[in-house]
Amino acid sequence: MGGLGSGRFPSQGRKQTVEESMALSIGLLQRQGLCVGRRDIRSDLSWANCAIASVRILTKTLQEPRPRLRLLYDVATDNGVMHIDKPVELVATALAHNACRWWFQCPACGRRCGVLYLPPGQRFFACRRCHDLVYASQQFKTNSRAFRPSLLAKIV
């Protein structure tokens, strides 16, 4: 154990990261007033440096038993462009003073999550666990994390 050649090489076993993926945050949507409303809301979101130009969000809250978003977007595939129309359920948890916190229900596993991700090469938004995503800082060895320049800049 632990002999020459053992261990993980940098290119071996590298997972996709959250930072490489497009993220759809429920908090961002709430701040923009797109989560819960009295009528259908149409909005376009776009990301810089990605293959997908935009995601259209249709919010339906009062007409349906459970509030949900409908994501409409295009994904580039080997055969051209694939049009995606995916509903995402919204779940509320009660807070103090008659307030509530909204969450996405992951379309893949049904878990409650605050952010849905679309990694490069994937077709559907899902939670971090379903896409097996990690944070970029988790790709470094534990003893070298403290010496990363980006972390040192924050300390100084």
58-111 pLDDT, tens digit per residue, is 666 545 567 778 888 887 778 888 888 888 888 888 888 888 888 999 999 999
**Number of compact structural domains in the chain:** 1
What global pTM score does this model have?
0.74
Domain range for residue 128?
Answer: 22-140
Examine residue 118 and state whether it is found in any structural domain, yes or no. Answer: yes
- pLDDT tens-digit readout, 19-33: 888 888 888 877 776
What is the C-alpha separation between 120 and 39, in angstroms, rounded?
A: 33
> 111 in a domain, yes or no?
yes
| Residue 28 is assigned to a structural domain of this protein | yes
For residue 18, the one-letter residue type is V
Question: Coil, strand, or helix at residue 29?
Answer: helix
